[in-house]
Amino acid sequence: MKPPFTPLSRRSFLGQASCAAVSSLPVLSTLLNLRVAGNLAAATAPATGEYRALVCVFLSGGNDSFNMLVPREQSAYNTYAAARADLAIARADLLSINPLGGLSEFGVHPAMPGIQTLFENSKAAFIANVGTLIERVQNRTEVNQNLRRLPLGLYSHSDQIEQWQTSVPHSRSGVGWAGRMADLLTSLNDNPTVPMNISIDGSNIFQTGHDVAEYSVNPDGAVALSRYDPDFLPGDYRAPFSSGVDSQLALTYSNLLQQTLNTRKRAAIDAYSLYADATAPALPAGVTFPNTHLGNRLAQVARTIQGRAMIGAKRQTFFVNWGGWDHHDEVLNTQGAMLPQVSQAIAAFHAATVAMGVENNVTLFTGSDFGRTLTSNSRGSDHAWGGNQLVVGGAVQGRRIYGQYPSLLVNPDSGTEVNPLDTGRGRLIPTTSVDEYFAELALWLGVSRTDLPYVLPNIGNFLNLSGNDSPLGFLA
């Protein structure tokens, strides 16, 4: 016969919980958590009223980004056109941009006028030829002869997506670099009810930390627990139902799993209620978003940022994912249909941050599995390595191309090597590591320089942590 339920005293519950934790928690996680606790104690709170947010737009599948950012100077364009063959965009069709810093002429894809305008107005910048690295790799000889440590599963979607989201290319991990940032920074927020990391596209590794996880919503808002949310009940039943749920979730159970489940249910209900109220108000007059996959998601991010005071947020990250970029065929046609959505949605989002007065407090950045081959496989391109990414925001030192835009010469299958970065078919070795890219973002959000190795374990291979130099310099 099942014994009757008996609530535990606080002392006996804590005793059982502690034993369960000690028996199941890996020593490494314990040490990491102790380090986090120490860092939190030393964290510097932001200035009164200061708010900062990072917005990751991840283009899953591997965006062919050497058609997103193209050299226009005639000889460099000729090299591009020779490498790309039937994938090349006509020089006259490129939207001209004029980078500062003495760089040659460049152009963006003709479907991205919004990005052209942001760049020319110094609100956007490109990061050139960035990709996953454990240590710097100089040429294809080092790759072919295994003279350098290389990321696991190069050219593999699953491995490279994971590595972009974890910044741990030397091993497989379920903890992301935004999650590790939240481990350090979440205590800066005034209210823990709605987590620091918010995903518009479900669970992800990027925002999963040792102590935190993402709060998942959809483009229409918070996702309710329909069995427990009173909003799903007729009005006459809401008050007694809510009272009954509250009383059940307030009980302390002898079964630790049951208690944990109830705690999570209560937290989910509280987060839903607060998030729904905070994101309910309309955006400022004149702010509109395109009714597209990316437009609807960035509109929800904007509503969340607008409700930051009610949520109690001083630091946030957002994750937006859009798949379908694995263009093994019809690159020109498919990018011509998809890149306009990227340009329009990001331009609308930046305009929203201006209207809300947080232009300098929000930085949007893109990521993707990898770049793609410069050579054509007959109207399509295949998996490669380094690629170009975009950053947008008022804090961005814009109208610049950061890192090293590589030569687009393609080595012949045999004979003289004309481009040391080409490992074959225009698969370019990255000249900027994702660690450098992410370190710039992490420092801007508030991670201290001494804590960067916790967030980005390999950053010491690319940045002198005892110095004062910026990783790349694209954020003020």
Whole-angstrom distance, CA of residue 445 vs CA of residue 365: 13
Which residue bears the tokens 């930051």? 308
pLDDT of res. 58: 98
pLDDT of res. 33: 45
Query: Average pLDDT in the 82-95 region?
Result: 98
pLDDT of res. 454: 97
DSSP string, 348-397: HHHHHHHHTT-GGGEEEEEEES--B-SS-SSS---B-S-EEEEEESTTB-
- pLDDT category at 4 given cuts 50, 70, 90 is very low
How large is the C-alpha radius of gyration of the chain?
24
> Which tokens sit at 359?
């232009």
Q: 355 lies in a domain?
A: yes
pLDDT of res. 104: 79
Residue 332 predicted with pLDDT over 60: yes
* % pLDDT > 70, the chain: 81
pLDDT of res. 227: 43
- pLDDT category at 254 given cuts 50, 70, 90 is low
Q: 96 lies in a domain?
A: yes
CATH number of domain containing 313: 3.40.720
Report CA 159 to chain centroid distance, whole Å. 16
Query: Could you give the residue ranges of the DSSP H alpha helices within 222-381?
Result: 235-250, 256-279, 293-306, 308-311, 331-355
Q: 166 lies in a domain?
A: yes
* Predicted confidence (pLDDT) per residue in 214-239, tens digit: 999 999 999 876 544 544 444 454 45
Distance between first and last Cα of the chain: 67
Range(s) of the domain holding residue 449: 54-223+289-461
Query: Average pLDDT in the 38-53 region?
Result: 61
Q: 38 lies in a domain?
A: no
- In this predicted model, which residue has the larger pLDDT, 379 or 31? 379
Q: 275 lies in a domain?
A: no
Of the candidate ranges 81-95, 245-259, 303-317, the one whose mean pLDDT is the lowest: 245-259
Mean pLDDT rounded to a whole number for the chain? 87
In terms of Cβ atoms closer than 10 Å to its own Cβ (0-12, 13-18, 19+), residue 471 is buried
pTM: 0.86
Which residue bears the tokens 């209900």? 269
pLDDT of res. 250: 55
3-state secondary structure of 153: coil
Rounded to the nearest 5 degrees, what angle is found at the Cα of 174, between the Cα atoms of 173 and 178? 100
- pLDDT category at 102 given cuts 50, 70, 90 is confident
- pLDDT category at 23 given cuts 50, 70, 90 is very low
Q: Are 408 and 66 in contact (CB under 8 A)?
A: yes
* Predicted confidence (pLDDT) per residue in 393-449, tens digit: 999 999 999 999 999 999 998 888 999 999 999 999 999 999 999 999 999 999 999
> Could you tell me the CA-to-CA distances from 233 to 238, 241, 277 in Å, in that order?
6, 9, 18
Q: 237 lies in a domain?
A: no
- pLDDT category at 289 given cuts 50, 70, 90 is very high
pLDDT of res. 42: 38
316: left (phi over 0), alpha (psi -120 to 50) or beta: beta
**Beta-bridge partners for 57:** 320, 366
> Could you tell me the CA-to-CA distances from 116 to 62, 287, 347, 392, 468 in Å, in that order?
22, 20, 10, 11, 32
Task: Please give the DSSP secondary-structure letter assigned to residue 72.
Answer: -
Neighbouring residues of 20: CB distance < 8 A, sequence distance ≥ 6: 256
Q: 49 lies in a domain?
A: no
Task: Report the domain count for the chain.
Answer: 1
Q: 231 lies in a domain?
A: no
- pLDDT category at 156 given cuts 50, 70, 90 is very high
